Structure 1
Amino acid sequence: MKTLKTHNDWTKSPGNVFWAEIAPYDHVVQIYDNDETFLNTLFAFVTDGIKSKDCVIVIATKPHLESLNEKLYQSGFSLDDLSARNLYLSLDAEAALSKFMVNDWPDATLFLDLVSSLIAKAKKDNRRVRAFGEMVAVLWAREQVGATVRLEQLWNQFCESQAFCLFCAYPQSGFTQDAVDSVLHICSAHSKMISTGNDRGISDIYYKSVGIA
């Protein structure tokens, strides 16, 4: 099993990161200060995947799915066509969580059943796969810190066995107490962080704490 990157190995990527250069196995996180910033990053992640003929899986909250789908539509993408060509699979994060959370804790077997079926469908015709998951942010918003970290760990294990890139995102507003400790909890489960472009953003707490300017 791959060892998570140490502090000195971290890459501080700009918000307009060229997603095609993100490698399989990378587990990328963004801690964003507003929805527009996040949706622009997610839109770039999705459209770069579509243009590269990857299958893109998006597991997001209903408001974020609706906003993303509207941006895709306004940019000339047909959701029906993308779905028919197996280029875009979307799920509601709350509904997905309900399939594997048992007593407020991720059940590893049920989680594996869910994501394995998704990846099997996504890899049809030998397509490469990239995925965005917002289930962790939903758990984090509920202050279920242990469950959040456990779910990130399960994602890491699965990513390594299946070789696909995973993108996660957390709203900055969720880091209200002991921000340094909270940021380190989340960042330790990822291999790259995308900067929000805001020097006062909470993501910079991590960089400063480990000496990345």
Structure 2
Amino acid sequence: MTYAETRRNPAADAFWAGLTARDHCVQIYDNDPAFLAALEGFVAGGIRQGDSIVLIATPAHLSALSARLQRNGFDVAAATRRGQYIALDAAQTLERFMVDGWPDQARFNAVIEEVLGRARTHHHQVRAFGEMVALMWADGLCEAAVQLEHFWTRLCAAQQFSLFCAYPRSGFGNGGESGIDQVCAAHSKLYTM
């Protein structure tokens, strides 16, 4: 069975298949297995549609996702070689455009547009996942993280790609509903499965 034939969660598959260019969705997750299942669904939805996948995540999450994909028949190494699967370290990518604890929009655009250009070399449609905002939130850079979400939204609209972000619920602490509301308001869709 090929990865394109693998079906894990029909409701989630329908959600991810319904994403359009410009969609900027978020998941507030309770644990890594729930997050990784969502991320795998997002990636698999793109693979099934022939999209390029850009992942900007922690090394641990990149490794766990790669293992899940490979267990389900997806050849990550082959997809990487053909330019369909681009995986970047979130912390290293953040360093390329942060200035004094704040994202610089011109640098951000330059970094991400370069990656999108590589992704579109062989596959016109792109799906991107970004974990940089969650890292910023965890470091207490909450306003800067929300600003970065707005940069992403503008870039999604201009460059016509879909974006998925995820935050661990634990990062919002006790009574963190106002933070969750602020993060959700910066997105066009909320993933809740």
Q: Is the 8 A contact 1:17 1:194 kept in 2?
A: no
Q: How does 1:61-80 map to 2 (within 5 A)?
A: 61-80=58-77
1:115 equivalent among 95, 112, 120: 112
Partner Cα separation in structure 1 for residue 45 and residue 12 of structure 2: 14
Whichever residue aligns with residue 170 of structure 1, its letter is: Y
Bigger shift: residues 78-87 or 153-162: 78-87
Shift of 1:125: 3.4
Q: Is the 8 A contact 2:26 2:187 kept in 1?
A: yes
TM-score with structure 1 setting the length: 0.82
Aligned residue pairs total 183
Shift of 1:152: 0.3
Q: Is the 8 A contact 1:15 1:195 kept in 2?
A: no
Shift of 1:50: 1.2
Partner Cα separation in structure 1 for residue 185 and residue 33 of structure 2: 25
Partner Cα separation in structure 1 for residue 129 and residue 191 of structure 2: 14
Structure with the larger helix share: 2
1:53 equivalent among 42, 50, 54: 50
Shift of 1:123: 1.2
Q: Which residue of 2 aligns with 1:144?
A: 141
Counterpart check, 1:20 vs 2:17: yes
Partner Cα separation in structure 2 for residue 38 and residue 81 of structure 1: 24
Q: Which residue of 2 aligns with 1:205?
A: none
Partner Cα separation in structure 2 for residue 17 and residue 26 of structure 1: 15
Whichever residue aligns with residue 70 of structure 1, its letter is: A
Whichever residue aligns with residue 106 of structure 1, its letter is: P
Partner Cα separation in structure 2 for residue 35 and residue 17 of structure 1: 22
Shift of 1:183: 1.2
Q: Which residue of 2 aligns with 1:163?
A: 160
RMSD of aligned C-alpha atoms? 1.4
Structure 1 segments, 4+ long, off by >3 Å, are: 14-17
2:170 equivalent among 169, 173, 176: 173
Partner Cα separation in structure 1 for residue 51 and residue 123 of structure 2: 9
| Structure 1: tracts of 5 or more residues without a match | 1-13, 197-213
Q: Which residue of 1 aligns with 2:41?
A: 44
Shift of 1:41: 0.5
| Structure 2: tracts of 5 or more residues without a match | 1-10
TM-score with structure 2 setting the length: 0.90
Shift of 1:184: 1.5
- Percent same amino acid at aligned positions? 42
Counterpart check, 1:131 vs 2:128: yes
